[in-house]
Amino acid sequence: MTESVFKPKKRIFMSLTSISALLGALMIYVVWKVTVPGLSEIHYLLPIVMGVIGVAIVLLMLTGVFGIVMALLGIPIIKIFYFGAWKAINILFPFAVVLGRLFNIPRAKIEQSFIEVSNNLVLQHKVKVPADRIMILTPHCIQLDTCGYKITRNVENCHQCGRCSVGAMLGLAHKYGCHLAVATGGTLARQMVMQIRPKAIVAVACERDLTSGIQDVFPLPVLGVLNERPFGPCFNTRVDVKKLEAAILAFLDEEDANAKEK
């Protein structure tokens, strides 16, 4: 059971995050221990106050890690663990990257693992929203580079010729009644999110963009689908439409899902 849940991708981030939390707790204790004499000279209560703050930070990190483990094991978690897990992820991610360098783990693998863990947390939270509050967000590199139709401002300009993945994505958006947005960069993507104001996002991108995007829009729930790069990064990328549809259905509330099946 555990082996099937903790796939290698998830294990990487989980291990690095756990080690980071333990090292962080140790570092906080050492700093507190070293500064106690000086703090005592300023005011006798300062060591206690700083100690309480340190314990609170450590508890936040450990609660977050515990929430991540519970989610990956498929155990239902209460909201405090869900948000604690997310706070821990955001705090510990940079440390996990540094540790990854020490262990010679490529950043891309850590980011892939982060996306898997993030998706598990979102799925565990069982977010259900109407179809018209779901946004499919994808980068412009998903469009064929030789295509003459501009779709970044109006994706309906796509002629669905089938030479790239945009047509299939637009077909899914029409089928379920979701919003589809194609962005040329992070700034435009944020503008589109603010304009549409979705309650859930299905994002298609590379590891780096998905990782930063998921962190940027929290607490908005995001399911990340890694793009396929047969021609290299940022050029004529593609997406597995089955994975994309599965992500949409994971967010879709029962009423809309049943309506589409009829």
Encoding tokens for residue 184? 């040329």
pLDDT for res 2 = 38
pLDDT for res 89 = 77
Q: Helix crossing, 107-125 with 46-72: angle to 10°?
A: 80
Given the candidates 2.30.30, 2.60.98, 1.10.3470, 3.40.50, the CATH classification of the domain at 127-261 is 3.40.50
Average pLDDT along the chain: 84
Q: Across the chain, which distance is largest between two alpha carbons, in Å?
A: 75
pLDDT for res 1 = 38
Encoding tokens for residue 129? 């929203």
User: How many residues are present in the chain?
Assistant: 262
Q: What band does 4 get if pLDDT is binned at 50, 70 and 90?
A: very low
Query: What does each C-alpha distance from 28 to 21, 65, 104, 240 come to in angstroms?
Result: 10, 17, 26, 44
Residue spans per domain, the chain: 2-124, 127-261
* Residue-wise pLDDT tens digits, 154-202: 888 888 888 999 999 999 999 999 999 998 887 888 888 888 899 999 9
Encoding tokens for residue 257? 């899902």
Q: What band does 6 get if pLDDT is binned at 50, 70 and 90?
A: very low
Encoding tokens for residue 172? 């899914």
Question: Which of 34-43, 78-87, 96-105, 215-224 is least confident?
Answer: 78-87
pLDDT for res 77 = 66
Q: What band does 17 get if pLDDT is binned at 50, 70 and 90?
A: confident
Q: What band does 3 get if pLDDT is binned at 50, 70 and 90?
A: very low
The pLDDT of 93-118, averaged and rounded, is 89
- Residue-wise DSSP of the chain: -HHHHS-HHHHHHHHHHHHHHHHHHHHHHHHHHHHHHHHHHH-TTHHHHHHHHHHHHHHHHHHHHHHHHHHHTT----HHHHHHHHHHHHHHHHHHHHHHHHTT--HHHHHHHHHHHHHHHHHHHT--B-GGGEEEEEEGGGS-TT-----SS-GGG----SSSSHHHHHHHHHHHT-EEEEESSHHHHHHHHHHH--SEEEEEE-HHHHHHHHHHHTTS-EEEEEPB-TT-TTSS-B--HHHHHHHHHHHB-HHHHHHHH-
